[in-house]
Structure 1
Amino acid sequence: MNYSISPDALHDKVILVTGAGDGIGKQAALSYAQHGATVVLLGRTVKKLEQTYDEIEAQGFPQPAIIPLDMKGASKQNYFDMADTIGSQFGRLDGVLHNASLLGVLSPFNQISEDTFDDVMQVNVKAQFLMTQALLPLLHKSTAASLIFTSSTVGHSGRAFWGTYSMSKFATEGMMQILADELSDSNIRVNAINPGGTRTAMRAKAYPAEDTDLLNTPLDIMPLYLYLMSNQSQGVSGQCIDAQSR
């Protein structure tokens, strides 16, 4: 599908992006800001968040905000404190892109360590569950809010050796579908994006021998991210959409 987004499609929207220091999250933050949004940058590494912040500022886009948070170690209270901070500063939230994920270790099922399982499930599932619970009241204050999760091809169909990551993405799609159904009569639409093979550090870790020049960049797949975050996608909910056709 060809998504054509107007330059000011996200004007005056407040959007939280997790994993905003690198890869797809960084590009989404830049693209959202370019289209008029005030972006709240969340991530583990302050230096990377500051680099994203500086790039947005240098281009004259709306001034972003930074929330340093390690989703592997954050507690339920941390997320409610974060929601209070966003609420006191902005009063509402118009969008959330759950982008941050942990790959873990690719291995046979019987060799998955408990620590790896716990870490991947913590970041990819539990943290997003707790964060969404904390942020829902702010999303309800928006006139048209968009909540976007990040899935994967291995979140539709299990694949050998992808173990915990694949299970976490099945859980992510389930969480998205449950929320979409519960919120079907509200102002919040809920979807997921499968970015597909994209030139990122996580992809390189999973496929170290791959020719990265053959992959799309995060910028190449942004039209779908912009469409689902903009008001043009009102009425679209409960969908997991592939960002790439191949």
Structure 2
Amino acid sequence: MDYSIAKDALKDKIILVTGAGDGIGKQAALSFAEHGAQVLLLGRTVKKLEQTYDEIMAAGGAEPAIIPLDMMGATKQNYVDMAETIEGQYGRLDGVLQNASLLGVLSQFDQIEEDTFDEIMQVNVKAQFLMTQALLPVIRKSEMGRIIFTSSTVGHDGRALWGTYSISKFATEGMMQILADELSNTTIRVNAINPGATRTTMRASAYPAEDSMLLKTPLEIMPLYLYLMSEQSQEINGLCIDAQPK
């Protein structure tokens, strides 16, 4: 499928990206800005968000906003407050890329620690649920809202040793499908992306012996992200799409 979009396809769109300080989230923020969006950069490390901010400004993009938030410790009220701030400042939210995730420790099912399970579920599932729930009223104010979740190959095929991460991504795909179905009679479109093997810090921690130079960079998988965030994807809803189809 052709995922190319016009250079100004995201012009004047307000788009929130979680995990915007590193890896795929950072590249998505840069690419969205390059195509005209005003990007809201959410992450837990201000220094990394500032670097993304600086790169967007240096490239001549619209001035982004920085939202420092630790999804591990954030409460429902934090997300409600954030949504109200976004609405007060911009009047609407045109898109959100739920990109931030924790990998945890790869281990046998019977070796999974309860604390690790809780942490991964908190960031990968509960925080994304609470944030999306809080943002929905602001996204409804967009003419064509977009919500994109991030899944994984192990989010539709369970794999030995991937335990909690895999379970969290099954939950993510379920959440996406439910929301897509509920919003199918609106102009909001909800989908998920499986990035596939990509040159990121998370991938390196999962596959330390792998030659990362053989992997696609985050930039190389951006066409799908841009397409699903644009108005051209109005016919696509409730799907998890592989950025690197076999």
| Length-normalised TM-score, structure 2 | 0.99
Unaligned runs of 5+ in 1: none
* AA matched with 1:184: S
- Alignment correspondent of 1:186: 186
Other-structure match for 1:73: 73
Q: In structure 1, what is the equivalent of residue 131 of structure 2? A: 131
Q: CA RMSD in A?
A: 0.5
Amino acid at match of 1:30: L
**What is the match of residue 38 of structure 2?**
38
- How far does residue 187 in structure 1 lie from its aligned partner after superposition? 1.8
Amino acid aligned to 1:50 = E
SS of 1:62 mapped into structure 2: coil
Distance (whole Å) between structure 2 residues aligned to residue 108 and residue 120 of structure 1: 16
Q: What is the number of equivalent residue pairs in this alignment? A: 246
- Write the distance in 2 (CA, Å) between the matches of 1:157 and 1:71: 26
Counterparts of 1:2 and 1:186 in 2: how far apart (Å)? Answer: 25
Q: How does 1:79-98 map to 2 (within 5 A)?
A: 79-98=79-98
Q: Shift in Å at residue 73 of structure 1?
A: 0.4
CA shift digits 1:132-174 (9 cap, x unpaired): 0100000000000110000000001100000000000000000
Q: Distance in 1 between matches of 2:162 and 2:49?
A: 29
Asked whether 1:168 is paired with 2:168, we answer yes
Distance 2:115 2:17 in 1: 26
Flag structure 2 segments of 5+ consecutive residues without an equivalent: none
Corresponding residue for 2:111?
A: 111
What does residue 28 of structure 1 align with? Answer: 28
Which residue of structure 1 lines up, in the alignment, with residue 55 of structure 2?
A: 55
For 1:59, give the aligned amino acid: A
Deviation by residue 1:66-99 (Cα, 9 ceiling, x = unmatched):
1000000000000001101111110100000000
Match of 1:16, SS state, is strand
Secondary structure (helix, strand or coil) at the match of 1:158 reads coil
The one-letter code matched in structure 2 to 1:29 is: A
Alpha-carbon offset, residue 5 of structure 1: 1.0
Amino acid at match of 2:3: Y
TM-score for both structures, normalised by structure 1 = 0.99
| Whole-angstrom CA distance in 2 between matches of 1:134 and 1:103 | 25
Identical-pair percentage: 78
How far off is 1:2 after superposition? 2.6
1:3 Cα offset (Å):
1.2
Does the CA-based 8 Å contact 2:145-2:187 persist in structure 1?
A: yes
Q: Secondary structure at the match of 1:70?
A: coil
Hey, what's the Cα distance between the residues in 2 that align with 1:220 and 1:48? 21
Does residue 2 (structure 1) correspond to residue 2 (structure 2)? The answer is yes
